[in-house]
Amino acid sequence: MTIARRLALAAGTAALLATLAGCASVGGGAAAPAGSAAGHWSGRMSLRVDSAPPQSFSAFFDLQGNANAGQLQLTSPIGSTLGVARWSPGQATLQSGSDIRQFDSAEMMIEAATGAAIPLDALFGWLDGRQQNVPGWRADLSQISTGRLQALRESPAPAADLRIVFEQAQ
Mean pLDDT of the chain: 75
> What is the set of domains in the chain, with CATH numbers?
3-166 (2.50.20.10)
Q: Given pLDDT bands bounded at 50, 70 and 90, which one contains residue 67?
A: low
Q: State residue 34's pLDDT score.
A: 46
Question: How confident is the model over 106-130, as pLDDT tens digits?
Answer: 778 877 776 555 665 677 678 778 8
| DSSP percent split of the chain into helix, strand, coil, nearest 5 | 20, 40, 40
What pTM, to 2 d.p., does this model score?
Answer: 0.72
In degrees and rounded to multiples of 5, residue 92 shows phi and psi of -150, 145
Q: State residue 6's pLDDT score.
A: 47
Q: State residue 114's pLDDT score.
A: 62
State how far the Cα of 121 lies from the Cα of 60, in Å rounded to an integer: 23
**Among 65, 49, 50, 60, residue whose Cα is nearest residue 16:** 65
Q: State residue 19's pLDDT score.
A: 30
State how far the Cα of 125 lies from the Cα of 153, in Å rounded to an integer: 16
Around Cβ 73, how many Cβ atoms within 10 Å? Answer: 20
The better pLDDT of the pair 60, 18 is held by: 60
111 to 80, 99, 114: CA distances (angstroms): 25, 17, 5
Question: How confident is the model over 13-43, as pLDDT tens digits?
Answer: 443 443 333 222 233 334 445 445 566 889 9
Q: Given pLDDT bands bounded at 50, 70 and 90, which one contains residue 165?
A: very high
Question: How confident is the model over 49-59, as pLDDT tens digits?
Answer: 888 888 888 99
Q: State residue 110's pLDDT score.
A: 72
